[in-house]
Amino acid sequence: MERVDIAIVGAGAAGLAAAIFAGEAARGTGCRIVALDGARKLGAKILVSGGGRCNVTNVDVRPEDYWGGPRPVVRNVLRAFDHRRTLEWMETLGVPLKLEPTGKYFPVTDSARTVLEALLRRVGEVGVELRPGARVKDVRRTESGFEIHFADAPPLAARRIVMAMGGLSLPKSGSDGAGLAMARRLGHGIVPTTPALVPLLLGKAPGAGGHFADWSGITIDARLAVREPNGKAREERQGSLLFTHFGISGPAALDLSRHWLRARLETPAGEAGVTLGHPEFANEEAARAWLAVQTREHPTRMAATALQTLWPERLARELAGPGTPLGQLPKAERRRLARELAALPLNVTGGRGYSFAETTAGGVDLREIDYRTMESRKAPGLFLCGEMLDVDGRIGGFNFQWAWASGYLAGRGATASLAG
Ligand SMILES: Cc1cc2nc3c(=O)[nH]c(=O)nc-3n(C[C@H](O)[C@H](O)[C@H](O)COP(=O)(O)OP(=O)(O)OC[C@H]3O[C@@H](n4cnc5c(N)ncnc54)[C@H](O)[C@@H]3O)c2cc1C
């Protein structure tokens, strides 16, 4: 049987980072490292990322930008390889980055391909052998390490394994959850998964929020909230929101999606609600105060006209209802308007699924990983990194930062453990 020292399974962002840092750490030792990937063409997700520009990292990366496993673990991993290290690293790879006003870093070329090509080039330079088209079926423990089984090739023995097989987002890229099933067979607990950073589906419903289809194409700055059955906000996001023919998308909706999907997973079906509010109004009282001022200053102005100073016309008309001057609005109607300006219920019926998700929430339980090396506490000699783990970041380059940082630790950890 063919034997290698380290096999990296999965050559996406995390696997390529692990390959580079393992290769650099092993230089001159004669250590044989291979990076295997089921895809024939590598880096599908890197190429589509950031609208084809690859949002490599963010100027302000904090553990609070991530969800999933324990924050202290996330903090320690990010500390080991922070966004400044990413900037330096990319520079040495020949990919200078530029900072945009949103805090996101992109390659100055505005092309994700530059990032992918630089990573692949470096993998070759450090002597790691890349094997595309090598779909792994199973990884089994042996006395001297691991045995890797393929769909259509003889098995391979490896003393150490780095698993970087992604989660379930964009399954056509090759990341279809097979890695999580293998990690489970190797003894790991898997936190149930849901799509994350995914557009949300809305259903028709009585009331203004059910008429979303009429708003298709409208982009607004909004405050979205996932609410408990008692109305308490469980999580809030403010940002750009786009109405589409199926529901809502845009950064605010994508960021909120994992919270609604997790709430649905954790609480009985249908209990978590989503509301849409104007960013100026933190609560109903603030909206009521605004309406009172408008009524005092413009009593003959139609409610819909007044609302157009806040929302686009189509939305304002839907919310305002029948044409009534502000000064003649019945009390109950005034209260409804204030409530819906601050928190209009949206009938979220689901997410668009893994095929439209940018990442995965849930995955290999982070508590089972040694954060200093990313080595498994369940199967010594196994290292894990990237989206496979129970960590998901918000939109803005945070998920790649996690992939680079965890890949860095896993690659170096695997090499160091051989020397040890
Ligand atoms: C449309 C889109 C846009 C995005 N934009 C951004 C962005 O701009 N910024 C950002 O930070 N994040 C972005 N993300 C998220 C980011 O792409 C992921 O967080 C990151 O790619 C995860 O890297 P990974 O290496 O852990 O997993 P993956 O990229 O999924 O790589 C896993 C690799 O493992 C391989 N593999 C899986 N199973 C097997 C198997 N059985 N045998 C062999 N190989 C296998 C796959 O082929 C794949 O190459 C985006 C995601 C999507 C889908």
CA of 147 to the centre of ligand 1 (A): 24
| Percent helix, percent strand, percent coil in the chain, to nearest 5 | 40, 25, 35
Judged against a pLDDT cut of 90, whether residue 210 lies above it is answered with no
Average pLDDT in the 7-17 region? Answer: 98
The answer to whether residues 387 and 404 touch, using CB atoms and an 8 Å cutoff, is no
Residues 217-228: b if buried by 16+ CB within 10 A, e if exposed: ebebebbbbbbe
Q: Which long-range contacts (CB under 8 A, 24 or more apart) does 314-322 make?
A: 314/214, 314/215, 314/218, 315/215, 315/218, 315/220, 318/208, 318/211, 318/214, 318/215, 319/208, 319/344, 321/208
Give which of 1, 17, 13, 34 is closest to 134, Cα–Cα: 34
Convert the pLDDT of each residue in 285-298 to its tens digit.
999 999 999 999 99
This prediction has a pTM of: 0.95
* pLDDT at res. 13: 98
Pairing outcome for strands 200-202 and 104-107: unpaired
For the chain, helix (H) and strand (E) counts, in that order, are: 12, 23
CA of 48 to the centre of ligand 1 (A): 10
Convert the pLDDT of each residue in 139-171 to its tens digit.
999 999 999 999 889 999 999 999 999 999 999
The helix/strand/coil state of 68 is strand
| d(C-alpha 92, C-alpha 357), whole Å | 31
Q: Of 45, 61, 408, which is best to mutate to test ligand 1, by the most ligand atoms within 8 angstroms of its C-beta?
A: 45
CA of 187 to the centre of ligand 1 (A): 23
Q: With bands split at pLDDT 50, 70 and 90, how would you rate the model's confidence at 323?
A: confident
Q: Of 49, 170, 172, 384, which is best to mutate to test ligand 1, by the most ligand atoms within 8 angstroms of its C-beta?
A: 49
Average pLDDT in the 352-381 region? Answer: 97
Please give the structure tokens belonging to residue 310: 């806040």
CA of 369 to the centre of ligand 1 (A): 20
* Residue with CA closest to ligand 1 atom 13: 49
* pLDDT at res. 25: 96
Convert the pLDDT of each residue in 244-259 to its tens digit.
999 999 999 999 999 9
| d(C-alpha 9, C-alpha 13), whole Å | 12
CA of 204 to the centre of ligand 1 (A): 34
The answer to whether residues 339 and 284 touch, using CB atoms and an 8 Å cutoff, is yes
**Tokens 């650099």, located at residue:** 24
Percent of the chain with pLDDT over 70: 98
Q: Interhelix angle for 71-80 vs 398-419, to 10°?
A: 80
* Residue with CA closest to ligand 1 atom 35: 10
| d(C-alpha 260, C-alpha 250), whole Å | 15
Domains and CATH numbers, the chain: 2-195+359-419 (3.50.50.60), 200-351 (no CATH)
Residues with CB under 6 A from ligand 1: 9-15, 36-39, 45, 48-50, 54-55, 135-136, 164-166, 169-170, 173-175, 178-179, 358-359, 386-387, 397-400, 403
CA of 12 to the centre of ligand 1 (A): 5
Q: Of 21, 139, 175, 258, which is best to mutate to test ligand 1, by the most ligand atoms within 8 angstroms of its C-beta?
A: 175
Average pLDDT in the 300-327 region? Answer: 90
CA of 45 to the centre of ligand 1 (A): 5
* pLDDT at res. 324: 85
Q: Interhelix angle for 398-419 vs 13-26, to 10°?
A: 30
Q: What is the dihedral of CA 165, 18, 113, 180, to 10 degrees?
A: 10
| d(C-alpha 358, C-alpha 392), whole Å | 10
* Residue with CA closest to ligand 1 atom 22: 387
* Residue with CA closest to ligand 1 atom 8: 50
Convert the pLDDT of each residue in 18-70 to its tens digit.
999 999 999 999 999 999 999 999 999 999 999 999 999 999 999 999 999 99
Atom of ligand 1 minimally distant from the CA of 55: 8
* Residue with CA closest to ligand 1 atom 52: 358
Judged against a pLDDT cut of 70, whether residue 270 lies above it is answered with no
Distances in Å between the alpha carbon of 99 and those of 36, 50, 59, 95, 392?
33, 14, 8, 13, 22
Atom of ligand 1 minimally distant from the CA of 402: 19
| d(C-alpha 20, C-alpha 373), whole Å | 15
Atom of ligand 1 minimally distant from the CA of 388: 26
Atom of ligand 1 minimally distant from the CA of 43: 49
Judged against a pLDDT cut of 70, whether residue 404 lies above it is answered with yes
Convert the pLDDT of each residue in 67-110 to its tens digit.
999 999 999 999 999 999 999 999 999 999 999 999 999 999 99
Judged against a pLDDT cut of 90, whether residue 189 lies above it is answered with yes
DSSP 8-class letter at 3: E
| d(C-alpha 51, C-alpha 131), whole Å | 27
The helix/strand/coil state of 4 is strand
Give which of 257, 270, 258, 259 is closest to 199, Cα–Cα: 257
The answer to whether residues 11 and 37 touch, using CB atoms and an 8 Å cutoff, is yes
* Residue with CA closest to ligand 1 atom 4: 49
- HSE-CB of 266 using CA atoms within 13 angstroms: 11
Atom of ligand 1 minimally distant from the CA of 14: 25
CA of 357 to the centre of ligand 1 (A): 11
Give which of 401, 392, 405 is closest to 359, Cα–Cα: 392
H, E, C per residue of 215-278: HCCCEEEEEEEEECCCCCEEEEEEEEEEECCCEEECHHHHHHHHHHHHHHHHCCCCCCEEEEEC
CA of 155 to the centre of ligand 1 (A): 25
Q: With bands split at pLDDT 50, 70 and 90, how would you rate the model's confidence at 212?
A: confident
Q: What is the mean pLDDT of the chain?
A: 94
Give which of 284, 322, 288 is closest to 302, Cα–Cα: 322
Average pLDDT in the 232-238 region? Answer: 91
Judged against a pLDDT cut of 90, whether residue 261 lies above it is answered with yes
